[in-house]
Amino acid sequence: MVDVRFSNIYSRHTNNSYVENQTEQLCSKVKKLKYITVQISDEIKRQNADLTKYQTIMNLTSSLIGQAHHRVKLLSQAGWWKMYLYLILFSLFIFLIIYSFTK
């Protein structure tokens, strides 16, 4: 009987240490996940701020392109086809210059 009692105490001690070990491992994993979650949250906030900035820039660019397109339409409707042709040739010339520099 004495042997059973000691073996039972030993198994309880082993079970307690096992549970404590598992609890410590779980705590460390939870801390890692919390850290990763905070990092993800910070990255999302930074990217949302960047997207807002990019949206503002794109709206401004779209507005400028729309105004330029409107002026080109007015030129073509006014019968200034030569000016329209010069504009196209100038754009083609600039494109060729940029293409030659990049090559």
Global pTM value? 0.50
What's the pLDDT score for residue 102? 86
Mean pLDDT of 23-44: 96
What's the pLDDT score for residue 9? 57
The phi, psi pair for 78, rounded to 5°, reads -80, -5
Q: Where are the domains of the chain?
A: 1-102
Q: What is the pLDDT of residues 83-100, one digit of tens each?
A: 778 888 999 999 999 999
Residue that wins the pLDDT comparison between 30 and 11: 30
Calculate the average pLDDT of the chain.
85
| DSSP code string of 1-45 | -HHHHHHHHHHHHHHHHHHHHHHHHHHHHHHHHHHHHHHHHHHHH
